[in-house]
Structure 1
Amino acid sequence: MALPIIYGTGLSPPSRAVYLTVKAMGIDVKYEEVDLLNDAHLKEDFVKMNPQHTIPILDDNGFILSDSHAIITYLVDKYGKDDDPLYPKDLQKRALINKYLHFENGCLFSHMKAICVPIYWEGVTELCEKRLKPLKNCVGFLEKFLGDRDWLVGDSYTLADISVVTAICGFPVFFSLDEFPKVKAWLKRCETHLPGYATVNTPGNDIFMDSIRTRLHN
């Protein structure tokens, strides 16, 4: 069988969540870079794969799947170890991980996207405090979720941490995280312990933050 193909880009936090999951699992895949800022995701062949024209996309020998959360859970279920700690079979742990995947998608990334889309595609050059406030509120929720725990679910990192960190790590381009010390400490743990963080997540996040800075007035 051919290697699974992942279509994405380091600029994209959801793509990086898939990349980090692959690194944590130690599986082989083929990467296809999608030039998001030059509208490669709007080309006919890409839209045929995914009418929503979003990234990332997984092509697992003809099985096409979009949405990073669906992709990472699928990868662990198909290619992971028995009862893989990234996404354990214990129903309560899995439910908690799913909760944070939905939190990342519906709260963190949703409000982040509301800020980024006008900057990238509508020529907006200043941050909008009205849009920043709900994003800060989301980080406040995460601060409370973490409490005194090292990781979001259980005693080791899971898909919850992988998904959430790819969004959170880019927030300092919008506002300081100093008022969220538990989030900052958790972010440092992710940087230290997640396989591939330095080689996969950091370079892509740097590109993301630099691209935002260049589009904003100093």
Structure 2
Amino acid sequence: MAPIKLFADLKSQPCRAVYLFMKMNNIPFQMVRIDLGSGEHLQEEFTKISPIQRVPVIEDNGFVLGESGAIFRYLARKFNVAEHWYPSKDLERQGRIDEYLNWHHTNIRTTAMMTFRHQFINTLRGKPIKEDEVKRFKTELKKSINHIDKYFLKDEPYIGGKEISVADLQAFCELMQLDIIGDENEYRFNPKVRAWADRVKAQIEPYFEPCQEEGISPMQTIYNQLKSSKL
């Protein structure tokens, strides 16, 4: 049986989350790199695979699946990964993880991504940063961070429980994008969320080098160079 193909760009937060999940669970896969920066995801060849022109996408013996949340669930069930990643027996914990994955896209993903985009992309394109927009998204992001604290973590070390899950990977990979532009305090201001982020980081550390080398470091270098040139 051919290994699963993972179409991804490690500069993308959801791509990093899926990549890490597959690595941490020893799921065999072939990485097919799609360069978002050059618009490779918009080209005809990739559009035939994924009409919505987004990554990550997996292909498993002809079956194509997009959306990181759906990919997590599919892989967890197919490869019978450890129960803590996506519980099949504890329906309450599974429900909480599903709740986070659904909530994530219109809360943490939207606010963190737009905080990042308004600063990184505008700097990259030589456009002025719209400080009022950045302030608005940071305000909404702070509300979302506090919701993770009070609702999703409560007194637990991870989202919805005592062990790491796909929800933690999804959340952490999104938030750490802010480190690239020096805005890590936008989520680390909250002591409980900061401690959670440190726990997740320690868990993924052995598998993280490609994400750092291919995804995060190049963007940090570009951003720092552009910022320095404006001083």
Letter of the aligned partner of 1:143 in structure 2?
D
Residues 120-160 of structure 1: CA deviation (Å, up to 9, x unaligned): 37934425212222122211212223233211122210111
Tell me, in whole angstroms, the C-alpha distance in 2 between the residues paired with 1:115 and 1:125. Answer: 14
DSSP-derived class of the 2:65 partner: strand
Could you tell me which residue of structure 2 aligns to residue 134 of structure 1?
140
Q: What's the TM-score once normalised by structure 2's chain length?
A: 0.83
Show the counterpart of 1:179: 189
Kindly provide the amino acid, as one letter, of the partner of residue 92 in structure 1.
Answer: E
> Over alpha carbons, which structure has the higher Rg?
2
1:65 is paired with a residue of what secondary structure? strand
Task: Name which structure has the greater RCO, CA cutoff 8 Å, separation 6+.
Answer: 1
Gap regions ≥5 residues in structure 1 = none
Change (3 A) 1:86 1:48: same
- 2:113–2:174 contact (8 Å) kept in structure 1: no
Change in 2 beyond 3 A, CA 1:212/1:55? farther
CA deviation string 1:161-206 (max 9, x = no partner): 1111111122243351442111111111111123644324444334
Per the alignment, residue 85 of structure 1 pairs with: 84
Q: CA deviation at 1:74?
A: 0.7
The equivalent residue for 2:23 is 23
Give the structure 2 partner of residue 111 of structure 1. 111
TM-score, with structure 1 as normaliser: 0.88
Query: Percentage identity across aligned positions?
Result: 25
Aligned to 1:38: 38
CA contact (8 A) 1:170 1:209 kept: no
Letter aligned with residue 139 of structure 1: I
Matched AA of 2:203: H
CA RMSD of aligned residues (A): 2.4
Partner of 1:5: 5
Q: 1:23-74 CA deviation, whole Å, 9 max, x = no partner?
A: 2211110001111111011101111222221111111111111111111111
Question: What does 1:35-74 correspond to in 2, within 5 Å?
Answer: 35-74=35-74
Q: In structure 2, what residue type is equivalent to 1:22?
A: M
Instruction: Measure, in 2, the Cα distance between the counterparts of 1:2 and 1:125.
Output: 48
Shift of 1:86: 0.8
Unmatched 5+ stretches in structure 2? none
Q: Distance in 2 between matches of 1:13 and 1:211?
A: 18
For 2:70, give the aligned amino acid. A
Contact 2:4 2:29 in 1 (8 A): yes
Q: 1:78 to 1:66 in 2, by over 3 A?
A: same
In structure 2, the CA distance between the partners of 1:35 and 1:162, relative to structure 1 (3 Å rule), is: same
The one-letter amino acid of 2:97's match is I
The answer as to 2:204 corresponding to 1:205 is: no
Moved more, 44-53 or 158-167: 44-53
Aligned residues: 217
